[in-house]
């Protein structure tokens, strides 16, 4: 029989205000959950509970929703991708890096385990995991305790390079359709997992690597299964130019023409829309298209900021009516830090401190992401929602004084103050320590796996360079 747990008299609670459809503060409030469902949020709970958890000195908030990540590969790039970019490709290092640095499929579980631990320790409770199918993926996702939407990647073409300025495509349409069917079978298997926390997202990899037919068939399969649909779109200047060269349209306009936009669609990044200052394009309709079709955007500021690029801007998208969620597209997988960076970059791009508020970013990291996934029971503390709860230590030095605890968390403390995390009512982090996975052992394994990946770089790189020739150390080695 499910137990009832009572978080009693928390100093602060970020609760969902149904009447105003927004997050709000409650002080000296209780949260009661039974099994995996919240039953009470408010003051002066008068019922009983099997377990009482003191809320003194704590902020209780909903679990964060991460709608775009690549956990199985990104941890391998730590120390590699932070300053790697190719100027001839408009500063993006995506293509050169992803082709040259290729972790072995049998070792990607190690990357996922490290990333999942980072997510748990930073208060992420739901994640969209966009990965190639690797051995043990379902098992490690289930073991983590996270609510994972598995999105196996597939495409009609693969990128390749022969020089530093021209992205090329090697097409295999039949192979893409076969991998699409494999992805659907994999998603169906994940959804049958007894934990009940695994689901799927139908995810053709990129708009430039997929035929219109594959994109349309993928979207139809997602609708048939009542699942979200995602693809990378408008993520680079190279991609923008490629789609214009093929179709005469922007990537967003091409996506609309293929019929893949609409409720349930999440576009990864959608930075290079027609009005972006790097493009000098003639139209100004992409944002209205996204808003008018109720298409969501997964905003991941860190990888693009490292290239010197940014979304222009968070406030403009929000005012246009676009639903924005956040993702962790790089290591560390820290959605609190992504909130901070998105707020700062949004203000810089708009030259306006009002363009991206803390409330706006927290909405994106919780309710915005939940809405993108089609879930009204995630990202909020309200009766009937899933018991995904994060407890933050208000006495942590970086949280004090906690005049406005959300600001202290986002702009100062971040993950350092995350104490406990519950997912589906089960504690998965206690005193900052992950209970479901062995973070230390996974990190040690990652160190060795990264070395093996770097050793294989000359085999994959089109110029047969060594890893340090592509991504030199930040300081020279002294004799």
pTM for the model: 0.98
Q: What are phi and psi of 414, to 5 degrees?
A: 50, -140
Q: Give 284-343 pLDDT, tens digit per residue.
A: 999 999 999 999 999 999 999 999 999 999 999 999 999 999 999 999 999 999 999 999
Q: Once rounded to an integer, what is the mean pLDDT over residues 352-356?
A: 95
Contacts of the segment 196-199: beta carbons below 8 A, 24+ positions apart: 196/424, 197/142, 197/145, 197/146, 197/147, 197/148, 197/423, 197/424, 198/138, 198/141, 198/142, 198/147, 198/148, 198/149, 198/150, 199/147, 199/148, 199/149, 199/150, 199/227
% of the chain exceeding 70 in pLDDT: 100
Count helices and strands in the chain by DSSP H and E runs: 17, 20
* Other C-beta atoms lying within 10 Å of the C-beta of residue 115: 29
| Same structural domain, 26 and 119 | no
| Same structural domain, 339 and 349 | yes
Alpha-carbon distance of 217 to 3, in angstroms, equals: 44
- With 0-12 CB in 10 A as exposed, 13-18 as middle and 19+ as buried, what is 465? middle
User: What's the token pair of residue 346?
Assistant: 């949004």
Asked whether residue 338 is domain-assigned, the answer is yes
Q: Give 139-194 pLDDT, tens digit per residue.
A: 999 999 999 999 999 999 999 999 999 999 999 999 999 999 999 999 999 999 99
Alpha-carbon distance of 97 to 160, in angstroms, equals: 11
| Same structural domain, 39 and 111 | no
* Other C-beta atoms lying within 10 Å of the C-beta of residue 165: 12
Q: Give 194-220 pLDDT, tens digit per residue.
A: 999 999 999 999 999 999 999 999 999
Q: What are phi and psi of 381, to 5 degrees?
A: -100, 105
* DSSP, residue by residue, 127-185: EEEEE---TTHHHHHHHH--EEEEEEEE-SEEEEESSSS-EEEEE-HHHHHHHHHHHHH
Asked whether residue 377 is domain-assigned, the answer is no
pLDDT at 393 over 90: yes
Secondary structure class of 126 (helix, strand, coil): strand
pLDDT at 1 over 80: no
Asked whether residue 465 is domain-assigned, the answer is no
| Same structural domain, 185 and 283 | yes
The number of CA neighbours under 13 Å toward the Cβ of 150 is 29
Alpha-carbon distance of 26 to 409, in angstroms, equals: 16
Asked whether residue 445 is domain-assigned, the answer is no
Alpha-carbon distance of 191 to 189, in angstroms, equals: 5
Q: Give 242-270 pLDDT, tens digit per residue.
A: 999 999 999 999 999 999 999 999 999 99
Q: Which of 310, 337, 431, 436 is nearest to 64 (CA)?
A: 337
Tell which phi-psi region holds residue 135, choosing left (phi > 0), alpha (psi between -120 and 50) or beta. Answer: beta
Give the end of a domain, one of 372, 400, 424.
372
Asked whether residue 307 is domain-assigned, the answer is yes
| Same structural domain, 393 and 278 | no
Q: Once rounded to an integer, what is the mean pLDDT over residues 422-437?
A: 98
User: Residue 93: which domain range?
Assistant: 64-372
**Pairing of β 167-171 and β 157-161:** antiparallel
Computed over its alpha carbons, how large is the radius of gyration of the chain? 22
Specify the number of domains making up the chain.
2
What CATH number should be reported for the domain holding residue 39?
Answer: 2.30.40.10
Alpha-carbon distance of 165 to 294, in angstroms, equals: 35
Q: Once rounded to an integer, what is the mean pLDDT over residues 382-389?
A: 98
What CATH number should be reported for the domain holding residue 325?
Answer: 3.20.20.140
* DSSP, residue by residue, 408-455: HIIIIIGGGGEEEEEETTEEEEETTEESSS-HHHHHHHHHHHHHHHHH
Asked whether residue 137 is domain-assigned, the answer is yes
| Same structural domain, 154 and 256 | yes
pLDDT at 377 over 80: yes
Helices (H), 152-310: 173-191, 212-225, 237-247, 251-258, 286-292, 301-307
Give the end of a domain, one of 372, 399, 418.
372
Secondary structure class of 304 (helix, strand, coil): helix
| Same structural domain, 236 and 223 | yes
Asked whether residue 142 is domain-assigned, the answer is yes
| Same structural domain, 308 and 429 | no
């Amino acid at each position: 029989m499910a137990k009832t747990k009572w978080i009693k008299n928390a100093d602060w609670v970020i609760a969902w205000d149904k009447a105003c459809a927004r997050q709000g503060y409650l002080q000296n409030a209780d949260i009661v959950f039974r099994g995996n469902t919240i039953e009470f949020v408010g003051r002066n709970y008068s019922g009983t509970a099997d377990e009482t958890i003191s809320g003194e000195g704590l902020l209780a908030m909903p679990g964060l929703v991460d709608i775009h990540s690549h956990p199985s590969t990104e941890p391998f790039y730590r120390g590699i991708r932070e300053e790697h970019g190719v100027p001839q490709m408009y500063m993006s290092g995506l293509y050169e890096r992803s082709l040259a640095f290729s972790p072995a499929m049998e070792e990607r579980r190690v990357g996922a385990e490290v990333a999942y631990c980072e997510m748990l320790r930073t208060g992420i409770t739901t994640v969209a995991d966009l990965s190639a199918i690797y051995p043990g993926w379902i098992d490690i996702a289930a073991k983590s305790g996270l609510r994972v939407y598995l999105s196996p990647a597939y495409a009609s073409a693969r990128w390749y390079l022969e020089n530093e300025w021209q992205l090329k495509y090697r097409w295999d349409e039949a192979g893409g359709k076969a991998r699409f069917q494999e992805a659907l079978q994999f998603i169906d298997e994940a959804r049958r997992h007894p934990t009940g926390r695994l689901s799927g997202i139908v995810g053709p990899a990129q708009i430039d690597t997929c035929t219109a037919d594959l994109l349309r068939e993928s979207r139809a399969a997602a609708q048939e299964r009542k699942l979200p649909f995602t693809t990378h779109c408008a993520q680079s200047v190279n991609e923008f130019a490629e789609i214009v060269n093929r179709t005469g349209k922007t990537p967003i306009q091409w996506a609309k023409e293929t019929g893949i936009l609409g409720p349930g669609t999440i576009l990864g990044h959608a930075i290079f829309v027609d009005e972006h200052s790097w493009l000098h394009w003639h139209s100004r309709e992409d944002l209205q298209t996204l808003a008018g079709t109720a298409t969501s955007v997964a905003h991941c500021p860190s990888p693009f900021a490292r290239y010197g690029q940014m979304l222009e801007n968070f406030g403009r998208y929000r005012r246009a009516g676009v639903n924005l969620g956040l993702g962790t597209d790089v290591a560390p997988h820290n959605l609190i830090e992504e909130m901070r960076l998105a707020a700062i970059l949004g203000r810089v791009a708009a030259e306006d401190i009002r363009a991206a508020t803390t409330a706006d970013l927290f909405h994106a990291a919780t309710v915005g992401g939940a809405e993108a996934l089609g879930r009204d029971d995630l990202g909020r503390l309200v009766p009937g929602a899933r018991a995904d709860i994060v407890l933050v230590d208000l006495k942590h030095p970086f949280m004090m004084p906690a005049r406005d605890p959300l600001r202290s968390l986002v702009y100062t403390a971040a993950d350092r103050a995350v104490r406990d995390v519950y997912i589906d009512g089960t504690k998965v982090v206690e005193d900052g320590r992950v209970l479901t996975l062995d973070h230390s052992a996974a990190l040690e394994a990652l160190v060795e796996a990264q070395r093996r990946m770097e050793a294989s770089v000359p085999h994959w790189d089109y110029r047969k360079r060594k890893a340090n020739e592509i991504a030199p150390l930040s300081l020279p080695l002294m004799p």
